[in-house]
Amino acid sequence: MKYGLFNLTYKREISKKTVEIGEEFQITTTIENRKMLPITFLQVEEKYPKALGIENYNYNLFIMPYQRVKRTYNLSGNKRGAYFLRNVVLGIGDFAGFNMERKGIEFLQEVLVLPKSLKLQEAVVPYGNFNGPISVKRWIIDDPLMTIGIREYTGYEPERYIHWPSSLKYGQLMVRNFDFTTDNSVLILLNVESMKPFWVGINEDVLEKSISLCRGLMEELEEEKIPYGFTTNAYGININEKQNYYPKVGQNHLNYLLETLSKISYGASMPFEALLEYFLKRKGNHTTFVVVTPKIFSSYIEPINVLTKTANRVVVISLQEENLNRLSNNIIKYVEG
């Protein structure tokens, strides 16, 4: 009892820190008795998130002097999320457990379970009069020889898009409606409000579908090598984090955003219309905005319509048809199919 915890070490290793739903990974624990005295009764108390398949994992050991005991077991996540593996308690005492000396060992390890991937072609159908292949190519890549033209400046476009000769001719600021193929980039905006206000109720199924659609979008954009960024009004995701919304391509960028998707909570840090207005004021250089939302609330209509004046193309993917008919006809719309 007096010397049992002396020179006793515990180590825990995780084989994978990012896994798919249902994918197995290994936890390996190593306990080492670094002294001449044996430990006749060691109680180990490990706690894991329930979603990983094991909640409380307790076992007893007899350890000889200078002996190392290694245990390996498999876990798997059954639900998207960020899961923390926390502290471990070691107990020294008698077999009956009446007299115990305990020691807590601090651990904080994270396992990320990624969302499922939903492909556009499998999950959504066009809404209204829009017909054509359900693909990011339809949104981005048009005929490079087509004439785009000039339109009136709304105050939201970057100054570099102003066409000065036309502005002088018409007596007001005009901007270029440029070719998509010259400067393509996409910003995906995920809304986690399934009700108004969000805390009235949360529809987990529809939010998980929305998150899975975002993953499918990112993977398709990555495959087409079209720069893409991501932002959301989910609590805990910083919209000022440039690494999120700045358009990029590459496996590291995709991995970072997929890990971000795994961490998304159901709580909203702000109304979705506030997020839209934030990016309207930024006057960024994204040529296409893709809104992924459980539904379109009335308060979203005006800021989404304004997006059509700041970007070449706006796409709305709503899992419900409500209010889609009130959006601009220039917007490409999809619903769950």
* Position 180 pLDDT exceeds 50: no
Average pLDDT for the chain: 86
Q: Name the band, by pLDDT with cuts 50, 70 and 90, for residue 244.
A: low
CATH 3.40.50 segments of the chain:
120-144+179-336
Concatenated DSSP letters of 210-233: HHHHHHHHHHHHHHHT--EEEEE-
Q: What is the pLDDT of residue 199?
A: 79
The residue among 154 and 323 whose pLDDT is bigger is: 323
Residue 147 has pLDDT above 50, yes or no: no
Q: Please count the other Cβ atoms lying within 10 Å of the Cβ belonging to residue 215.
A: 21
State the pLDDT at residue 318: 96
CATH 2.60.40.10 intervals, the chain: 8-113
The rounded distance, in Å, linking the Cα atoms of 187 and 185 is 7
What is the fold of 8-113?
A: Immunoglobulin-like (2.60.40)
Cis? peptide before 197, omega within 30° of 0: yes
Tokens representing 134 are 């359900």
The class (CATH top level) of 120-144+179-336 is: alpha beta
Residue 299 has pLDDT above 90, yes or no: yes
Mean pLDDT of 3-27: 93
Q: Are 29 and 10 in contact (CB under 8 A)?
A: yes
Task: Count the alpha carbons within 13 Å of 141 in the hemisphere toward its beta carbon.
Answer: 10
Residue 282: pLDDT over 70: yes
pLDDT tens, residue by residue, 51-76: 998 888 899 999 999 999 999 999 99
Question: In the prediction, which pLDDT does 88 show?
Answer: 94
Mean pLDDT of 28-45: 93
CA–CA gap between residue 268 and residue 266 (Å, rounded): 7
